[in-house]
Structure 1
Amino acid sequence: MENITIKINGMEVSAPKGSTILEAARLAHIEIPTLCFLKDINEIGACRICVVEVKGARSLVVSCVYPINDGMEVWTNTPKVLESRRKTLQLLLSNHDRKCLSCVRSGNCELQQLCKELGVTDEGYYDGERTPSIIDDSAVHMIRDNSKCILCRRCSAVCEKVQGIGVIGANMRGFATFIGSAFDMGLGETSCVSCGQCIAVCPTGALQEKSQVDEVLAAIADPDKHVIVQTAPAVRAALGEEFGYPIGTNVQGKMAAALRRIGFDKVFDTNFSADLTIMEEAHEFLDRVQNGGVLPLITSCSPGWIKYCEHYFPDMTENLSSCKSPQQMFGAIAKSYYAEKMHLDPKDIVSVSIMPCTAKKFEIQRPDEAANGVPDVDYSLTTRELARMIRKVGLKFNTLPDEEYDAPLGLGTGAAVIFGATGGVMEAALRTAVETLTGEELQNLDFTDVRGMEGIKEATYLVAGLEVKVAIASGLGNAKKLLEKVKSGEADYHFIEIMGCPGGCINGGGQPQQPGYVRNTVDIRGLRAKVLYDSDKNNPIRKSHENPAIKELYATFLGEPGSQKAHHLLHTTYVKRKVNEI
């Protein structure tokens, strides 16, 4: 690609032709601040925080969308530029709920951080009419407060362009503009799938998950309740970011130690039930292949994807695996098998999950997710909520020792931990399905064709004389593309894995929020995924069907995969929904 040379703050910079000023500046290690900009998602130049001076231009230009040309001279830090940015921030604050101390994003707010860097204080804003604080809490998983919204449109961009849903957008015009749903519907009345990607990209506290931290702490304080917790694979790969660790740090041991000190009676690992999911799902897949069942079989681990399928592809719900997600399988086993072993009444067990996902909050209240007459899972907290709970009870996370999970529901394999990355469920299932079909031990457990952060991946494997065609999609926009190819007959697969969030659970809507600069310049998904693949590689047991705790569960309680008891506890049903119907 042809490079051209420009000057930024007097320094020569060589950048590819077609680059923006923002991109060229980053090559010179000069960071121009942004608020609305998300690379390839929201490149609209709306917030005007990134303005710079360009020689010959009549006014300041917006660097995130302004292309460079040979010989251009740019200044990013002149008094005029800095004053313009300060003025923009002051205007934003003039219509902003400035109750920062009570805001969930205080200390991790991009607007707050920019004000600090540019010296904007409480005395530097303009008084006038302000958007009232109208709370939309109609959705199960989140709350929207438009009095904290800066109209950056990141949320609506990710909803429409990445997830292909578009249930939120800019309503009205001028000063009356607000982000909301069509016809002033509450988010809970729309066909929102609860993925939380809008929360993940919001730079302020306008969007947040519905927190259940206080309810969980109350349950822990109740002497009549036995409170257990499970943690999803992707949480250990991201929780450390909340406490200053570099992206891509595995904090599994410290997380287990923290949960014990918070007061949970037992600390377990969702990896256990991820292995269980593979046992049931692999059995279901082989049964469909060998007995003429509905194909392709599509995975059911991601509740955001499940709700999307129910709304937008209701005719394909028969393709969904009837397996509950690992979260729900864990809850069902905890309130049956574990309750029996511990001589507990299921009604006295409070089952809590720590998930990278906001859609799990919707999943726990779905129908057919209460196998023992009580909800499989009572509360689902996000990674962010766990971090807040750790701070709330006064734990010094970074100084905690590394501790192990409790037995028997704390043992998981390498196959289970990679569930958190796109392609991981497929790879784990293939390890078990191939050995089951061939009756031979796999020499190479790494199915690298299904790994990586590409939105859609395909692979074909010859297994015991059967050509098995598989596909993987992450992000619901990619899921739509893939399913439309299947429906049209353009593509033919046996097995499809779909994750609702781009990159899988490592990039879930409940994971730690990173500022725009980090999202635009760092491979967050790749770094978090590496944690999981390293854990898999270093695990002495890398196949779900070799998990001794799972073997014991089937031998003494469930019987065999797909048994009547297993089906009652571990499988579920789906609903054919309409668009804009919850």
Structure 2
Amino acid sequence: MVNVKVNGIPVQVAEGSTVLEAAKKANVKIPTLCYNPDLSPWASCGICVVKIEGSNKMLRSCCTPVSEGMSIISNDPDLVQTRKTVIELILSTHPDDCLACPRNQACELQTLAQEFGIREQPYKKMVRDIPQDTSTGSLILNPSKCIRCGRCVEVCQEMQGVWAVEFLGRGESIRIAPAADVKLGDSPCIKCGQCSAHCPVGAIYENDQTKLVWDALMKEGPEAKTCAVQIAPAVRVALAESFGLPPGTDLTGKIYTALRRLGFDAVFDTNFSADLTIMEEGTEFVHRLTGALKAGMQQATADKSMPLITSCCPAWVDYMEKYYPDMIPNFSTAKSPQQMMGAMIKTYWAAKAKVDPAKIYSVSIMPCTAKKFENSRDESMYSSGYKDVDVTLTTRELARMIKQAGIDFLNLPESEPDSPLGPYSGAGVIFGATGGVMEAALRTAYFLVTKEELKDVNFTAVRGLSGIKEATVHINGIELRVAAAHQMGNIATVLDQVRKAREEGRETPWHFIEVMACRGGCIGGGGQPYGATDEVRKLRMRGIYDNDEKQEYRCSHDNPYIKQIYAEFLQKPASHKAHELLHTQYKERPLYLK
């Protein structure tokens, strides 16, 4: 431990801590812009400068380590003026269209300008006129708003390991764009949206499709649509942040009511189709495991039937097809819960409700920007004969719609989802957190193998924010080795070990692998409310597991509505009809499109 003072306040911090971290522990706020706790200190903006007593030299607190006896000054007239000048210089290259900006009232630069009382612009405006890039369909890159803080580059390269964007040019002409200056949609971008979640301004943001949904909701007469909606597990524990409540606050019942007041005719829950996913993916895993036990695990590694890798995350699917196409045989063919629900709405539910599927407008509310890409990624996303999910909105877009409609969200009564595609088990809701798909699958895989119910359904070894979590599970004398990895930068470590085992003719280190592209899983998705940190992610995860624990059914196979859909429509897991509607295929994709 190291003893320091911040503005005369004594504080003790761990050796290696930065001045910024010491100040936080002393309850002293130092303004920052390029800094983000998820990322390595970049020190590009200079707003976090401080002085050390006895020296007039200004140091950047985000990357300056503390030392024993250091006395830090975070606030004096020179420091305030320096910070104000830096903000004014940044503003001189930034557009003044705050009212039309997607980050209005959620912009870190705007907040700093307000805090420092900037009312005039002393420097000549030098805003660059660079066209927007809308090529991904999920994200919009607006280089004119870029403040060159470097956060998106760090996120994409270091956290996610995708390398879709980098710095191009030098000096005043420097800007952020894909390598070779191609369009973002032609780059390795996987549409995860972590760049937009970490951008402090409106330079990268989700493609807002709320107008499409409003148009569908407002149609009348012969053009009227039956509007159905589904909400993902992670949405329910994050939406509250957009209305001033703490992260992790579970507002599931109020969300159902809000969606009805927006005008949706049917309100379903993606947790139900998460249960459906487990039935299909769990059955697939048991089939592969049975075959591997007969042929030998080493042979199963060689013929690529093992390990089975989850396929719920569309950003991960895109990454795998681009970076690890040799792993395609290991990928579960089960669609994501979003797409399974879309298919069931326009087939099973349409028939039960006696609604023409051509007249159904299917909307999903997701924590993820990549889901916008997923709903039209290939022909299997049209398995109902129509586009299974017509449009995907993020949590942020839903919050805007609720506010636009003048709904007093926090004072709404709670309600239930519509049957039969609404009621869910606890296993369905934990899909929203890293390790949740694995845990849900193990709960049902145990039953499928043993025909017995688990006494304790909690697999806590795969929970938490460790980048790679491993566990060994024993089922009927079978030793299963599983891994759950999240944040794309951790994925290569896992997959490279599988590749190495295959090359050396050894048994794979794991039999079942869960992958989620975003840190914390879907609760930290690129479409969630801004400002996610590990503290926020932990609270959202707690909300997910609390929801699981209060459910009557904790396992997907126990959900009576899941039993009903198989009895009435799908016949059994992995049936021919289930494969037609609930499964997909993959293909190698080039890193750069020509």
Name the TM-score, length of structure 2 as normaliser. 0.95
Unaligned runs of 5+ in 1: none
Given candidates 510, 527, 543, the residue that maps to 2:527 is 510
Any conservation in 2 of the 1:93–1:125 contact (CA below 8 Å)?
Answer: no
CA distance in 2, matches of 1:569, 1:284: 15
CA distance in 2, matches of 1:232, 1:384: 13
Once the 2 structures are TM-superposed, how far is the Cα of residue 40 of structure 1 from its aligned partner? 5.5
* Residue 571 of structure 2 is aligned to residue 559 of structure 1: yes
Any conservation in 2 of the 1:190–1:580 contact (CA below 8 Å)?
Answer: yes
* Residue 344 of structure 2 is aligned to residue 355 of structure 1: no
Deviates more, 1:326-335 or 1:112-121: 112-121
CA distance in 2, matches of 1:417, 1:40: 26
Deviates more, 1:68-77 or 1:91-100: 68-77
CA distance in 1, matches of 2:38, 2:386: 45
Quote the residue 1:287 is aligned against: 287
Name the TM-score, length of structure 1 as normaliser. 0.97
* Residue 238 of structure 2 is aligned to residue 221 of structure 1: no
Quote the residue 1:118 is aligned against: 116
CA distance in 2, matches of 1:129, 1:563: 62
Give 1:428's aligned amino acid: A
CA distance in 1, matches of 2:451, 2:2: 59
Once the 2 structures are TM-superposed, how far is the Cα of residue 125 of structure 1 from its aligned partner? 4.0
Quote the residue 1:6 is aligned against: 4
CA distance in 2, matches of 1:468, 1:21: 46
* Residue 336 of structure 2 is aligned to residue 319 of structure 1: no
Give 1:218's aligned amino acid: D
Quote the residue 1:131 is aligned against: 128
Quote the residue 2:493 is aligned against: 481
CA distance in 2, matches of 1:282, 1:4: 51
Once the 2 structures are TM-superposed, how far is the Cα of residue 133 of structure 1 from its aligned partner? 4.0
Quote the residue 1:95 is aligned against: 93
Quote the residue 2:160 is aligned against: 163
Specify the SS of the correspondent of 1:444. Answer: coil
Give 2:188's aligned amino acid: S
CA distance in 1, matches of 2:122, 2:250: 42
Quote the residue 1:57 is aligned against: 55
Any conservation in 1 of the 2:163–2:188 contact (CA below 8 Å)?
Answer: no
Specify the SS of the correspondent of 2:155. Answer: helix
Quote the residue 1:394 is aligned against: 406
Once the 2 structures are TM-superposed, how far is the Cα of residue 14 of structure 1 from its aligned partner? 2.1
Q: Give runs of aligned pairs for residues 297-376 of structure 1, distance below 5 A.
A: 297-367=308-378, 368-376=380-388
Quote the residue 2:233 is aligned against: 233
Quote the residue 2:582 is aligned against: 570
Quote the residue 2:539 is aligned against: 527
Unaligned runs of 5+ in 2: 293-299
Quote the residue 1:547 is aligned against: 559
Give 1:81's aligned amino acid: L
CA distance in 2, matches of 1:209, 1:318: 32
Specify the SS of the correspondent of 1:135. Answer: coil
Given candidates 471, 479, 489, the residue that maps to 2:483 is 471
CA distance in 1, matches of 2:55, 2:140: 43
CA distance in 2, matches of 1:334, 1:39: 41
Alignment coverage as a number of residue pairs: 574
Once the 2 structures are TM-superposed, how far is the Cα of residue 397 of structure 1 from its aligned partner? 1.3
CA distance in 2, matches of 1:96, 1:40: 25
CA distance in 2, matches of 1:170, 1:182: 8
Specify the SS of the correspondent of 1:282. Answer: helix
Deviations 1:64-92 (A, max 9, x none): 11122222222111011111110000000
CA distance in 1, matches of 2:5, 2:578: 67
Specify the SS of the correspondent of 1:350. Answer: strand
Quote the residue 1:242 is aligned against: 242
Once the 2 structures are TM-superposed, how far is the Cα of residue 108 of structure 1 from its aligned partner? 0.8
Once the 2 structures are TM-superposed, how far is the Cα of residue 20 of structure 1 from its aligned partner? 1.3
Any conservation in 1 of the 2:92–2:121 contact (CA below 8 Å)?
Answer: no
Quote the residue 2:46 is aligned against: 48
Once the 2 structures are TM-superposed, how far is the Cα of residue 58 of structure 1 from its aligned partner? 4.2
CA distance in 2, matches of 1:68, 1:42: 16
CA distance in 2, matches of 1:335, 1:508: 27
Deviates more, 1:16-25 or 1:355-364: 16-25
Deviations 1:404-451 (A, max 9, x none): 111111111000000000110111111111011112221111111111
**Paired-residue identity, %:** 49
| Pair 1:211–1:193, CA change in 2 (3 A) | same
Give 2:288's aligned amino acid: R
CA distance in 1, matches of 2:131, 2:78: 36
* Residue 499 of structure 2 is aligned to residue 501 of structure 1: no
Quote the residue 2:106 is aligned against: 108
Quote the residue 1:268 is aligned against: 268
Once the 2 structures are TM-superposed, how far is the Cα of residue 13 of structure 1 from its aligned partner? 2.2
Quote the residue 2:207 is aligned against: 210
Any conservation in 1 of the 2:487–2:519 contact (CA below 8 Å)?
Answer: yes
